[in-house]
Amino acid sequence: MIRPPGFEGVVFGTATWGDLRRDHQARADVSAELGLPSDWAYLNQVHGVTVSVVDGGGNHGDGDALVTSQRLVPLMVATADCVPVAIEADGAIALVHAGWRGAAAGVLPAALSVLRRKGFVPLRAAIGPSIGPCCYEVGEDVAALFPGNQATTTWGTTSVDIPGFLAGQLSGIVTWRSDACTFTELEMCSWRRDRSDERQVTVAWLPAR
């Protein structure tokens, strides 16, 4: 697991955990290790901009961002190349799933605006492992959506830097960014690499006082 330095309740899991969306024993084990309840809040991720404000665990329907102000309610998103982003705020936590569609549609600013509207001040953000600009080959149509964040793969084709784009939406917030590329790091799930439905999870929570 990856614990970004300075964060209180953010853990980026790897494939070595198994797929915690469906492996309930593994989820219980990880929960025990982290000192958390095993009833995690999650969504049916649909690459949109819906932000769900939750008070407890379980499935909260379609959406791509979770916010809670309840302590010790673990939030989970599952990814394999898409970008998990956790935001620690004063009195709340947010967790976002952003692939290129969600990023382009504005899921991260949507989550920030929910936090701020509810009076919570974002303190720091962590951008977890995802497919990097080194490997995220896209067509010109997708590249055109990210004009300042176009890049080139290691094999010389057009790519985009989605975590870089998201970092740009976090201006004014101290941001940590993983340098792990899911496509090349074999302990991470990568849909592009394996065409598998296995996912790693990110867990974020507001700690006990």
Name the one range near Zn ion by CB under 5 A: 59-67, 72-80, 134-142, 186-194.
134-142
Question: Judged by CB under 5 A, which stretch of 39-47, 59-67, 128-136, 199-207 contacts Zn ion?
Answer: 128-136
What Cα–Cα distance (Å) separates residue 71 from each residue in 28, 54, 78?
18, 11, 21
Query: Min. distance of Cβ 159 from Zn ion in angstroms?
Result: 9
Task: Assess 151 for contact with Zn ion (CB under 5 A).
Answer: no
Q: Which is nearer to Zn ion, 46 or 134 (CB)?
A: 134
* Of residues 15 and 135, the one with the C-beta less far from Zn ion: 135
Give the footprint of Zn ion on residues 36-65 (CB under 5 A).
Answer: none
Measured CA to CA, the distance from residue 60 to residue 67 in angstroms comes to 11
Contact in structure between 63 and 46 (CB atoms under 8 Å): yes
* Strand order from edge to edge, sheet including 83-89: 51-53, 65-68, 92-98, 83-89, 122-127, 174-177
Q: Is 94 in the site for Zn ion (CB under 5 A)?
A: no
- Identified binder of Zn ion from the candidate list 132, 165, 175, 203, rule CB under 5 A: 132
Residue 135 in contact with Zn ion, rule: CB under 5 A: yes
Residue 11, interface with Zn ion (CB under 5 A)?
no
- CB of 109 within 8 A of CB of 171? no
Establish if 181 lies at the interface with Zn ion (CB under 5 A).
yes
Is residue 86 near Zn ion by the rule CB under 5 A? Answer: no
Task: Say how far apart CA 17 and CA 112 lie, in whole Å.
Answer: 29
Q: Is residue 173 packed enough to be buried (19+ CB in 10 Å), middle (13-18) or exposed (0-12)? A: middle
When the beta carbons of 41 and 135 are compared against Zn ion, the nearer one is 135
* 8 torsion bin: left (phi>0), alpha (psi -120 to 50), beta (else): alpha
Q: Which listed residue (1, 105, 134, 173) binds Zn ion by CB under 5 A?
A: 134
Q: What residue ranges bind Zn ion (CB under 5 A)?
A: 132, 134-135, 181, 183-184
